[in-house]
Amino acid sequence: MRIWAAKGVNLNHVKPDVLEAVVKYGVRQLRVSLDGASQETYSVYRVRGNFERVIENVRTINAFKAQYGTEYPELLWQFIVFGHNEHELPQARALAAELNMKFKPKLTVNTRIGTDGQPYFDPNGKPDTRDSGRFNWWGRDVEWKDVLGIRGKRDVEKPTGEWNTMVVICQGDTLTYLVNGVLVNQGRGANQTRGKLQFQSEGAEILFRKIEIRPLIKP
């Protein structure tokens, strides 16, 4: 049997013998909820939480991993991005690397919930923070089906046979998507701020006429 603590643990109130047992008996993964890189910021959301205690418990787990010669549990740093803590993302990433933790912040998008129960981008909606799944663009038709020729009622794409223009702006940890000049989606607090680019088509034919990569110009 394998055990994961994938929904988030806070490590605020745990005894050393429990931490040793987590390592000794092979728990596969711990996702540690750490929404800041300082006590001041961390305690805004984790009320009465003790940041230094959590960090010390992570170090204790690492010491037990070395003692038992194991790579488990895999440690993830889960960082929910808010306005009060986003300035500490660089410090949190650096400390996670020092502690041999994978950094796992969640992307935040302002959304509304559609009649199908899915989140849709809405600039005036409530912040919705997730680390998996999909944030639909604001005009996606709830009755959409993957069949030839279908169009949504609010599609911003041009008719079949005409070229569309998509602009993706990656500025720090903020992602902004425009299709034919219309803002369709936007998220902030992304943990991937560098790396390879991928052009994706979900099982359908797609044609590219021109791809341009431009550096952002600082104002």
In the chain, DSSP assigns E strands to 4-9, 29-33, 74-80, 102-113, 119-121, 126-130, 166-171, 174-179, 182-187
Please give the biggest Cα pair distance in the chain. 66
Residue pair 51/15 in contact by the 8 Å Cβ criterion: no
Residue 64: the pLDDT is 97
Residue 2: the pLDDT is 83
Domain boundaries, the chain: 1-100
Q: What share of the chain is helix, strand, coil (3-state, %, to 5)?
A: 20, 25, 50
Q: Answer yes or no: is pLDDT of 44 > 70.
A: yes
Percent pLDDT > 70 in the chain is: 95
Report DSSP state, residue 212: -
User: What are the pLDDT digits (tens) for 179-215?
Assistant: 999 999 999 877 667 667 778 776 677 899 999 999 9
Distance CA 114, CA 117 (A): 5
User: What are the pLDDT digits (tens) for 125-149?
Assistant: 998 888 767 899 999 998 888 777 7
Matching residue, tokens 């009060």: 84
Question: Which residue stretches of the chain are H helix?
Answer: 16-24, 39-45, 51-68, 89-98
Q: Answer yes or no: is pLDDT of 40 > 90.
A: yes
User: What are the pLDDT digits (tens) for 152-163?
Assistant: 899 999 988 899
Rounded mean pLDDT, 76-98? 86
Percent pLDDT > 90 in the chain is: 60
Q: Considering only 26-35, 86-95, 141-150, which range has the smallest mean pLDDT?
A: 141-150
Q: Answer yes or no: is pLDDT of 219 > 90.
A: no
